[in-house]
């Protein structure tokens, strides 16, 4: 029986999935310094923040294609429902995009520009994985996962997705409070890839990977180099399937 990703994450604070604090890590590909936590699968998630609380943060995922087919980090607290979830996944040679969203019988080749790890921002509106959908913000405040190309790659079995989460902190009711010193967050990995290689592709159910909840050192995650690092971000490639 498959277990809803959301239900697993909702139960995380009450179950023995493990908890960890973060450590300081500087990514050699980008020079960005993160507060980073590592999942039992080998998946790493890191976060960097500006000195003065703002609307953006920089994050990164790093893991093995063999062990992690997608990963998600809840940046609003240990309870996922109603909070932002940033997700990322590697490209696999078996990936194909449905020419008609939701129609798995018609697959089209993935564009060359999209044969890299991808990421997006989602919001859980219900208890099933199908209800963890793309979130683009409210009104004029647009939320976007913008890749930092130097930190987006696949080398052998290792993949990495580094990104600027634009306006992800604009709504404090669904994102972490940057005025706190620490805050409990959660993330999860899945062993099966999303149902397509494009932003917003349906996530597969979480069935055999444990959730890790962790307490990032928010104070240590802040850097006066944040604005410099944020300038490295670019618009994400359009990998949506043709209708």
Which among 76, 52, 49 is positioned nearest to 230, based on CA atoms? 49
Is pTM beyond 0.95? Reply is no
Helix, strand, or coil here: 205? coil
- Per-residue pLDDT 10s for the chain (243 aa) are 344 444 444 444 434 344 557 899 999 999 999 999 887 778 899 999 999 989 999 999 999 988 888 988 888 766 667 788 899 999 987 666 654 455 544 567 888 999 999 999 998 777 677 778 888 887 778 999 999 999 999 998 999 999 999 999 888 777 777 777 767 777 778 878 888 899 999 887 654 445 667 778 888 999 999 999 999 999 999 998 876
By the 8 A CB rule, do 194 and 203 touch?
Answer: yes
- Full set of structural domains in the chain with CATH: 5-230 (2.60.40.1210)
By the 8 A CB rule, do 172 and 203 touch?
Answer: no
* HSE-CB of 10 using CA atoms within 13 angstroms: 13
- Residue-wise pLDDT for 195-231, tens only, equals 889 999 988 765 444 566 777 888 899 999 999 999 9
């Amino acid at each position: 029986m498959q277990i809803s990703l959301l239900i697993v994450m909702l139960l995380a604070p009450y179950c023995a999935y493990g908890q960890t604090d973060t450590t300081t890590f500087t990514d050699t590909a980008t020079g960005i310094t993160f507060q980073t936590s590592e999942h039992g699968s080998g998946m790493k998630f890191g976060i960097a923040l500006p000195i003065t609380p703002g609307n953006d943060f920089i994050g990164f995922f790093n893991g093995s294609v063999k062990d992690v087919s997608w990963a998600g980090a809840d940046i609003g607290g240990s309870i996922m429902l109603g909070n932002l979830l940033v997700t990322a996944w590697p490209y696999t040679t078996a990936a194909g995009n449905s020419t008609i969203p939701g129609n798995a019988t018609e697959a089209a080749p993935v564009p060359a520009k999209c044969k890299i790890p991808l990421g997006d921002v989602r919001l859980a509106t219900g208890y099933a994985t199908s209800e963890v959908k793309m979130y683009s913000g409210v009104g004029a405040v647009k939320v976007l996962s913008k890749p930092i190309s130097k930190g987006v790659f696949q080398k052998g079995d290792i993949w990495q997705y580094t990104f600027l989460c634009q306006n992800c902190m604009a709504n404090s009711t669904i994102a972490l409070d940057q005025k706190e010193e620490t805050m409990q967050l959660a993330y999860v990995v899945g062993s099966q890839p999303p149902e397509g290689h494009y932003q917003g592709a349906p996530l597969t159910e979480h069935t055999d990977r444990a959730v890790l909840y962790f307490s990032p050192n928010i104070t240590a995650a802040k850097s006066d180099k944040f604005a410099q690092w944020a300038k490295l971000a670019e618009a994400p490639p359009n990998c949506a399937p043709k209708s």
